[in-house]
Amino acid sequence: MKTKITEQIEIPSSVECEYKDKILICKKGSLELKRKIAIPKVKISLKDGNIIFHSEKATKIEKKSIVSFIYHIKNMFQGLDKKFAYKLESCNVHFPMTLKVEGSRLIINNFLGEKTPRHANILPNVDVQIKGNLITISSHEKESAGQTAANFEKSTKVTNRDRRIFQDGIYITEKPGEGE
């Protein structure tokens, strides 16, 4: 059943927003975040300090898309205030692995005694700090920080072995919003 839907999200007073060519640009001071927002059959506009999503004949697919993008925009507003931080830990039982950041990649040497190093990609605008076996990933963009943390965890995934015994790897120990 198609219905008329209008949803809106209030723009914080210290944030400036602009919507052009299906890209939402939010600025606060010198920091600028961009996100492509394109939902078929939905008109997006900025009026009176609000971002308005409007559709004359929306189905539940458009409704779900609108709600998803509202939460993405809320994450952008939070990212303009503070960075999202993920904490990871590298664990090893027998072979000590070494971690090193080179450009936009994490190099993992001596994982399970392997001679060839493993690599994990670091997305743009993401800061990575390594202190011993603790890794901190932070960024103003929640998706970039989360994807970088997932890349690190995935790069040391052990296959065809019992995870209860072979526990070596890099694991996410804390996500944004947890432990606060």
Residue 179 lies in a domain: no
Q: What is the pLDDT of residues 37-58, one digit of tens each?
A: 999 889 999 999 999 999 998 8
| Mean pLDDT for all residues in the chain | 92
**34 and 77 fall within a common domain:** yes
pLDDT at 154: 95
Contact by Cβ (8 Å): 18, 73: no
Residue 114 belongs to domain spanning: 84-174
**104 and 131 fall within a common domain:** yes
Q: Cα 153 to chain center, whole Å?
A: 14
Residue 169 lies in a domain: yes
Residue 61's identity, in one-letter code, is: I
**62 and 94 fall within a common domain:** no
Residue 177: pLDDT over 80: no
The 8-class DSSP code of residue 110 comes to: S
Mean pLDDT over 164-179 rounds to: 85
**71 and 91 fall within a common domain:** no
Which residues fall within 8 angstroms of residue 177, CB to CB, at 6 or more apart? none
pTM: 0.88
Q: Cα 65 to chain center, whole Å?
A: 18
Domain tally, the chain: 2
Residue 179: pLDDT over 80: no
Better-predicted residue by pLDDT, 180 or 67: 67
Q: What is the pLDDT of residues 93-136, one digit of tens each?
A: 888 999 999 999 999 999 989 999 999 999 999 999 999 999 99
3-state SS assignment for residue 2: coil
Task: Report residue 90 as tokens.
Answer: 């590298």
Domain boundary pick from 81, 105, 132: 81
Better-predicted residue by pLDDT, 162 or 26: 26
Which residues fall within 8 angstroms of residue 153, CB to CB, at 6 or more apart? 88, 169, 170, 171, 172
Residue 156 lies in a domain: yes
Per cent of the chain over pLDDT 70 is 98
Residue 91 lies in a domain: yes
pLDDT bracket for residue 65 (50, 70, 90):
very high
Task: Report residue 83 as tokens.
Answer: 């960075």
CATH code of the domain covering residue 90: 3.90.930.12
